[in-house]
Amino acid sequence: MSHADFVHLRVHSAYSLSEGAIKIKDLISLCKADRMPAVAVTDSGNLFGALEFCAAAAEYGIQPILGCQLALRREDEGLRGGRAPEPDPLVLLVQNAEGWANLIRLASEAYLETPAGETPQVQIGRLRRSRAG
């Protein structure tokens, strides 16, 4: 059976609150219907749907690509109105087990180390140190 020429690498599922609405099983069903061999789920700031996504994809023979959209802190700009500028979104995809461990750590640190009232974000230096995989 031939495959589609397109693999979506930036899908926000229902786990991306207020950014995505598609449920994991519906996403996988659509991929199967369109003959997509793989798909990436890159929810914003979380990996809550990863287990459900991998299980559903495996059931339908779709290659799951794990990822996450994290906020990247701008280090070259000062405060604006007493507040740091909004971070830039960056999609990170997992290549292997080391990459999964790095992504989990980055997503956790974004929430744990960002001051209250700001969008959870990672610094570019931390991203550089955790880029493997």
Q: What is the pLDDT of residue 76?
A: 65
What is the structure's pLDDT at 4? Answer: 83
Cβ(67)–Cβ(13) below 8 Å: no
Bridge-based pairing of strands 38-41 and 88-93 is unpaired
The full set of domain ranges for the chain reads: 24-129
What's the pTM?
0.88
Supply the pLDDT for residue 118.
86
In this structure, what token pair is assigned to residue 67? 């990822």
Mean pLDDT by 10 residues, the chain (133 residues): 86 91 96 96 96 97 97 75 81 97 96 90 93 94
- pLDDT score of 82: 67
pLDDT of residue 45: 93
Please give the pLDDT value at position 77.
60
Q: Element (H or E) spanning 98, and its range?
A: helix 97-113
Query: The domain 24-129 belongs to what CATH superfamily?
Result: Metal-dependent hydrolases (3.20.20.140)
